[in-house]
Amino acid sequence: MTYAVIALLMGIESSIVPLPSEVVVPPAAYFSLQAHSQLEIFMVMVTATVGAYVGSIVNYVLSMIIGRPLIYAFADSKVGHMFMLNSDKLRHAEDYFQRKGSVAIFLGRLLPAVRHLISIPAGMSKMNFLKFSVYTILGAGVWNAVLSGFGYMLYLVVPDDAQLFDALEHYNEYLKAAGYGLILLIVVYLVVRHYKKKRSKQLAAREENTESQH
């Protein structure tokens, strides 16, 4: 496996093609730790993130150009079904985007069912491209770091290359749990930060009211 192949596969993974990143980055990270490998684990993370970002741009631009009605029509077509798409999946991604706003791009990169679709509602809503890029790169970077860490763990517990993909399938549920755990931590952090800001504003308003009364 080369960096170009990693970037290509992750670009495909971020498009409508159902290629799980779990079968790309962990093996690449695993092989990067072997003595004869020409890969480096840090560059695996960077290359995977770049590929994911480029694939997301394709979805974003096409969705912005084509528009919502045609995208939903394609999702319910035979070709769309070949790519495991349907209007329900798109609607789920769109609803998630509308509920979470811009941060949905970041959080969506951590969700298996949403990751490759979250760029579509961003394009349909003509989200600011710079903001889209920042959240996409951050989300993809975090997820690829998790996947690379998973590959490192596999390297420690799976000495035989032939057992690698069996181990991937075995530990995949733990990987999904890690993704959901990350989302939970991020959401808790955002909620706490929101209430801290709200509390600070309330205290500042009370102080102003007290000063004005004197």
Share of the chain above pLDDT 90, in %: 14
Residue 75: pLDDT band (50, 70, 90) is: confident
Phi, psi of 159 (to 5 degrees): -75, -20
Read off the pLDDT band of 47 (50, 70, 90). very high
Closest CA to 18 of 47, 55, 44: 55
Q: Which residue has the higher pLDDT, 213 or 66?
A: 66
More confident residue, 42 or 159: 42
**Token digits for 69?**
């009605």
Residue 214 has pLDDT above 60, yes or no: no
Tell me, what's the pLDDT at 44?
A: 92
| Encoded amino acid at 54, one letter | V
Euclidean distance between CA atoms 13 and 52, whole angstroms: 7
Domain assignments of the chain as residue spans, ordered by start: 3-213
Residue-wise pLDDT for 98-142, tens only, equals 776 677 788 878 777 677 778 888 888 888 899 899 999 998 999
Question: Would you state the pLDDT for residue 205?
Answer: 67
Using CA atoms, how far apart are residues 129 and 177, in angstroms rounded to an integer?
30
